[in-house]
Amino acid sequence: MTNRKIVDILTDNPRRHSPLQRLLHQAAIQDAWTAELRVLLPDALKNRCKVTEVSPRTITILCTDAATATKLRFLASDLRSQLEHLSHYRNAGELRIRVSGN
């Protein structure tokens, strides 16, 4: 097996994406969603929540603990109305708030 640089692997065959490229792309999208969400959150919650999915039906937010999830649920209706003005969330439906299994 030959050793290859990660840059070479990521730029190989631009028409067909490798599983690693798809995974990195999805991670970048989730980071963008999370950055938009965090602008709207109180400081105490910003680093405790991240967006894992945005679909026409739901926005899924993963929280680090149950207390954070509860606080976020209290903010959900106001947060939902603010999210509607952001590009990634414009057509998304309800907020689904989950707690991380860690």
CATH code (residue 92): 3.30.300
Bridge partner list, 61: 51, 97
Establish if 77 belongs to a structural domain.
yes
Establish if 29 belongs to a structural domain.
yes
Domain total of the chain: 1
Would you state the pLDDT for residue 88? 75
Which residues constitute the domain of residue 45? 6-99
Would you state the pLDDT for residue 8? 67
Establish if 81 belongs to a structural domain.
yes
Instruction: Compute mean pLDDT per 10 residues along the chain, 102 residues long, and list them.
Output: 66 69 90 92 95 89 96 93 81 88 70
Establish if 1 belongs to a structural domain.
no
Q: For residue 15, which phi and psi values (nearest 5 degrees)?
A: -80, -25
* Inter-residue contact 51 to 30 (CB < 8 Å): yes
Instruction: Count CA within 13 A, CB hemisphere, residue 51.
Output: 25
Would you state the pLDDT for residue 9? 62
Bridge partner list, 63: 49, 99
Would you state the pLDDT for residue 3? 72
